[in-house]
Structure formats: structure tokens, C-alpha cells
């Protein structure tokens, strides 16, 4: 009876690790896609001064890409926590002979790294430079390049600024 459910737990562990790896790959691809979008929008908008309004597309793109990046990053962390806090405990209840020590896992080892906090601060800055700063620059560039702004332009810029502040706050909270 001690092994009842062990196969299920091991399969769930395997599936969760697969999902975690896929999310890591997808999250990392979001950076490259965002950089490509930034380059495309700026080269398009700055290449033809009459198309300055296209700069207002970039904050929307950065918001979607940044939120998707952040959501995947949080899921990666949640999967790790679930494995450590629930799955391994459940497995240990069934394996009374050889319990698993979750503190000896790779994730636990990495968390104990003394340079983790400074690295997280650096990662926060990189995330903000990747997903937020280019969007702010696009809004400022649009403002500078446009001589006559309509109420509609102001409304879009205000909405984009508000969403970028929200995204910045979410990145900051996740870094904690």
C-alpha cells in the first residue's frame, strides 16, 4: 500500500517538469520577439516621419509581450513551488522507506545562492529595459515628432502610460 499513487505522482512530476521547460523556452523567446518588434516599429516610424503614429503601436506590443513573459515566469515559479511543497511531500508520505529531501534539489540549491538577490535586481532592470523603457521612448518620440495632437492621441498615450506603469509595478512585485 505504501506505493499506491506513486506512479501518478511521478507522472505528474514528469509532466510538470515538461511544462516548466516549455514555459522557460517560450518565456525566453518573448525577449527576442520583443526586440524584433522594437526594431521593426522604430525603423518603420523613424524611416518615414509621416508615420510617427505607428510609434503608438509599440507600447501595446510591449505590454502584451511583457505581460506574457511575466505570466510565464510566474507559472514557472509556481510549478517549482508546487513540486517542492506539495508533490514531494505527497511522495514522501507514500515512500516511508526512502523519503526525498527537497532541500537537495537544483531549485533549492539555486535559491540559496548568495548572489541571487543582486541577480534578481539586475533581472528586474533588464526586464524593464526590454519591455517598458522602449514603450516609454516610443510615446515620447511620438509626442516630439507630432506637431498637432488630437484628443484621441492624448487618450491613447494616457492609456498606454497607465498600462506601462501597471506593468512596471507587476514586474517589481514579481521580483520581490
Average pLDDT over residues 96-103: 64
* pLDDT confidence bin for 1, thresholds 50/70/90: very low
Segment 65-81, tens digit of pLDDT: 999 999 999 999 999 88
Q: What is the pLDDT of residues 24-66, one digit of tens each?
A: 999 999 999 999 999 999 999 988 878 889 999 999 999 999 9
Query: How many angstroms separate the CA atoms of 27 and 69, rounded?
Result: 5
Give mean pLDDT, residues 125-143: 96
What does the domain layout of the chain look like in residue ranges? 6-175
d(CA 146, CA 51): 10
Please choose, from the candidates 162, 160, 175, the residue with its C-alpha nearest in 3D space to the C-alpha of residue 128. 175
Round to whole Å and give the CA distance between 15 and 20.
9
CA distances from 19 to 79, 104, 158, 169 (A): 9, 22, 37, 27
Amino acid at each position: 500500500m505504501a506505493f499506491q499513487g506513486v506512479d501518478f505522482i511521478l507522472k505528474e512530476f514528469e509532466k510538470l517538469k515538461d511544462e516548466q521547460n516549455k514555459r522557460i523556452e517560450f518565456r525566453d523567446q518573448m525577449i527576442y520577439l520583443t526586440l524584433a518588434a522594437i526594431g521593426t516599429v522604430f525603423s518603420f516610424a523613424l524611416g518615414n516621419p509621416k508615420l510617427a503614429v505607428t510609434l503608438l503601436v509599440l507600447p501595446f506590443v510591449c505590454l502584451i509581450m511583457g505581460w506574457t513573459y511575466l505570466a510565464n515566469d510566474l507559472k514557472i515559479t509556481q510549478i517549482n513551488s508546487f513540486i517542492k511543497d506539495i508533490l514531494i511531500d505527497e511522495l514522501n508520505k507514500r515512500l516511508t522507506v526512502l523519503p526525498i529531501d527537497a532541500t537537495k534539489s537544483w531549485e533549492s540549491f539555486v535559491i540559496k545562492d548568495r548572489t541571487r538577490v543582486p541577480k534578481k535586481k539586475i533581472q528586474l532592470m533588464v526586464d524593464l529595459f526590454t519591455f517598458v523603457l522602449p514603450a516609454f521612448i516610443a510615446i515620447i518620440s511620438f509626442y516630439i515628432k507630432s506637431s498637432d495632437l488630437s484628443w484621441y492621441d492624448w487618450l491613447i498615450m494616457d492609456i498606454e502610460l497607465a498600462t506601462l506603469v501597471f506593468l512596471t509595478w507587476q514586474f517589481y512585485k514579481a521580483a520581490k
